[in-house]
Each structure stands twice: as structure tokens, then as C-alpha cells.
Amino acid sequence: MDPVLADRLQFAFTIMFHYLFPIGTMGLAPFVAAYTWKAARSGDEETARIARFWTNIFAINFAAGVVTGIPMEFQFGTNWAAFSRRSGAVVGQPLAMESVFAFFLESVFLGVLLYRRRGLPTPFAAWSAVIVCLGSWLSGFFIVATNSWMQHPVGYSLARDGTIRLESIAAVLGSPFLRWQFAHVLTGSLLAGGFIVAGIGAYYLLSRQFEEIGRRFVRAGAVVALVFALLAVFPTGDRNGRDVTNYQPAKLAAMEGLFTTTRGAPLAIIGMPDVATRRLIDPIFVPSILSFLAYGNFD
């Protein structure tokens, strides 16, 4: 096997497996904050039990994300050493900011939630849950900022030896490509969080245990999932796709199996790419839809 292909496959598997857990963390954090805050204000013991339950689930997911993220960071050096040497001055900045600011913020206040478990949540615990939520989102922002720079590099200069120098961290964190990319990731995370909560509630209802709590979970999860399913498509998904069209047209064409520029480009529902002959084998096309998705018109 080609070593480059092997590196790509290994890194793809690592990052896809890891990605499941940050999505769960970012999606469940608002539920932890909401239930903890509600329990602290109402003094309701059942709501406090729910808050503790979701804090435990969140903590397990958070720990799994940390464990699976470590091999991914190592693979920047083992699989893509030349890239790391040349771009480390830029890529390392948002990754370091994620560790120093977001990760420690999230982990410290998660510890507060986990170890202050006796009695009802206090206002301090409620604010801790809010900070955990903000920390998880901030962590996602810095990670997506790193990926965004790799997709659309800004705020850098090339040195004579070919290394990349950071010129403006503000430009990196304020990249036009980053805005809708992070918004899309965040809406997708909240969609996933809604399905997780609704799924646990559905399990309780089907197993005929904790049925009242199950109904609360299904209602809350379904509402959140419905709202963010719509937002994940429009505007965040649409605008993120338009950014790919504007900044990475060749990537869009490769993703969609479009080998030649054409007006009224069709969307391939299915097809096997044949790079040698530059065509799709046995494709099923929807006429002009790719042009509409990319540019907002059928031409």
C-alpha cells in the first residue's frame, strides 16, 4: 500500500472516532447547564437527580474525548511531520490556546460539578455548569479555527526556508471561513445532543422505567433536535457550503465527482469515481442542483 494512503486512512479513522466525543460534549453541555441551573433555582430533588445523571454522562464522554484526542495530536507529528515542521508556528497557536484556556476551564469546573454532589445544586454549581458549557464551546472554536486555517490560510507569511510564520492570530481566529464552519459544527453538536437526550428518554419509555423522566427527556431532546436540525441545514450548512464554493472550488468539484466545469452542474446522488477516465461510473444525477446549492441559481 502507498504510505501516503496508509497515513491518510489511519489519520481519518483516528479523527472520525475522536470526533464523536467532542460533538457529544458540545451538544450535552447546554443540557447539563440547564438542568443544574433549574435545580439550583427550584430546589426540586428530581431535577437535581437529572442534573447529576447528565453530568455523569457528560464526564464520561469528556474523558473519552481526551483519550481519543491524544493519538490524533501525536499523528500530526508521526504521519504529517513535514507539515508540522513548516506550519507548527501557526497551527500550534490555536491548539495551545485550546489547551491553556478552554480545556482547563472546562475540566476544572467539571471537577466542581462532579465533587460537589451532596444535596441540591448551589448557585456556584449552576454557574460552574454554565462555565463548563462555555468552555466546551470555546474548545471547539479553537479546534475548528485550526482546521479552518488549513482549509483557508490567512494571517501568515512564508519565510525563506519555506516555513510558515504567524503574522496575525486575530486574522486566524477571525477568518471568514471559520465563522460559518464553527456555526455549522455547533448546530450539528446541539442536534446530536438533542438526539442523545431524546434517545435515553425513549429507552426509558420503551423499558417502562422512569417513565415521567423519560417523557421529559423526549420532549426536551426532540425540541432541541428539531430546531437545530433546521439551523444545521440553513443558514449554517448553506453558508458553510458557499464558503467552500468561494474559497475551495476544486475541493467542491472533487467532493461531488465533477471532473469538468459545466453550467447547470448536476448533483450526483451515487456514482463510482474513475480518476483514470475522469468520469463517474453508473451515476444517478439530479440536474442543475449542484449549481443551485453552490451559487443559488440553476445556471
Grid cell in block for residue 159: 519565510
For 203-226, b/e burial (b = at least 16 CB within 10 A) is: ebbeeeebeebbebbbebbbebbe
Alpha-carbon gap, residue 79 to 126, rounded angstroms: 42
Alpha-carbon gap, residue 49 to 68, rounded angstroms: 29
DSSP state of 280: E
* pLDDT attached to residue 283: 94
pLDDT band at 121 (very low <50, low <70, confident <90, very high): confident
Percent of the chain exceeding pLDDT 70 equals 99
Average pLDDT over residues 99-123: 87
Beta strand pairing status for 279-286 and 267-274?
A: antiparallel
Alpha-carbon gap, residue 244 to 237, rounded angstroms: 11
* pLDDT attached to residue 176: 96
* pLDDT beyond 90 at 116: no
Alpha-carbon gap, residue 58 to 26, rounded angstroms: 9
Q: What angle do CA 79, 80, 86 make, to 5 degrees?
A: 160
Each residue of 24-65: pLDDT tens digit? 999 999 999 999 999 999 989 999 999 999 999 999 999 999
The backbone torsions φ and ψ at residue 53, rounded to the nearest 5 degrees and listed phi first, read: -60, -50
Place of cell 489547551: 99
CB atoms under 10 Å from CB of 101, counted, come to 14
Each residue of 211-250: pLDDT tens digit? 999 999 999 999 999 999 999 999 999 999 999 999 999 9
* pLDDT attached to residue 202: 98
